């Protein structure tokens, strides 16, 4: 039987915590004794530039260390990328796209649905959640709850992400980021 590897590609802009998202996914999976690989991909790094980050997860050891060209899941932390980057490039049939947006009926989301009727698209207003819960515009933790909920906690569990956040952040940042994850878990469309 072939190993099941779940490939996740995250899109955002420099400064939005895209790399931190991939690392938190990986850290949560490690806490569940899974095998992981998380890494960023970007050109000249500058705040606001489009970047991608990747997380690969499996219950069994794997040796694939390439970029993710055919993801199972795509997370879009900045909705303005929908018109600039082909975020669904290579997305597997039946794949999942999670978009941070305040308007699930936005033309860009509708165009995505029309271009790929075979995929599932979910939205969450991670920007609002991050602003209200954390006080910053970085949507990295504010979108992770949606990922966990939409995958029925089969890839990573909510408690594992909370534990990864506790290991990475301290003080008020820890509490605020955990609240952001919980809120997006409950508010995903």
pLDDT along the chain (189 residues), means of 10: 82 89 96 93 68 94 90 96 92 97 92 94 96 91 95 95 96 96 94
Which distant-in-sequence residues (6+ apart) come within 8 Å of 64 by Cβ? 5, 37, 56
* Total domains, the chain: 1
Residue 36 phi, psi dihedral angles, 5° rounding:
-140, 160
Q: State the burial class of residue 69 (Cβ atoms within 10 Å of its Cβ: 0-12, 13-18, 19+).
A: exposed
Which distant-in-sequence residues (6+ apart) come within 8 Å of 169 by Cβ? 177
Residue 67's CATH number: 3.40.920.10
Residue-level pLDDT at 54: 95
Residue-level pLDDT at 47: 66
**Domain encompassing residue 43:** 5-187
pTM: 0.93
Tokens 């952040």 belong to residue: 169
Beta strands in 33-151 (DSSP E): 35-41, 50-58, 73-76, 96-100, 120-124
Secondary structure of residue 167 in the 3-state scheme: helix
């Amino acid at each position: 039987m072939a190993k099941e590897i779940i490939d996740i590609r995250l899109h955002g802009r420099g400064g939005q915590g895209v790399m931190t998202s991939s690392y938190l996914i990986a850290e949560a999976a490690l806490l569940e004794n899974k095998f992981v690989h998380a890494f960023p991909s970007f050109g000249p790094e500058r705040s606001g530039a489009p970047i991608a980050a990747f997380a690969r997860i499996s219950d069994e050891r794997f040796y694939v260390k390439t970029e993710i060209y055919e993801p199972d899941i795509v997370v879009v932390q900045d909705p303005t990328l929908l018109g600039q980057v082909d975020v669904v490039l290579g997305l597997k049939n039946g794949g999942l796209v999670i978009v941070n947006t305040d308007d699930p009926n936005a033309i860009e989301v509708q165009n995505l649905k029309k271009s790929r009727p075979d995929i599932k698209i979910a939205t969450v207003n991670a920007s609002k959640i991050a602003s209200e819960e954390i006080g910053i515009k970085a949507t990295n933790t504010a979108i992770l709850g949606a990922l966990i909920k939409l995958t029925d906690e089969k890839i990573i569990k909510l408690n594992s992400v909370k534990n990864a956040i506790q290991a990475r952040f301290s003080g008020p940042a820890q509490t605020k980021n955990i609240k952001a994850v919980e809120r997006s878990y409950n508010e995903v469309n």
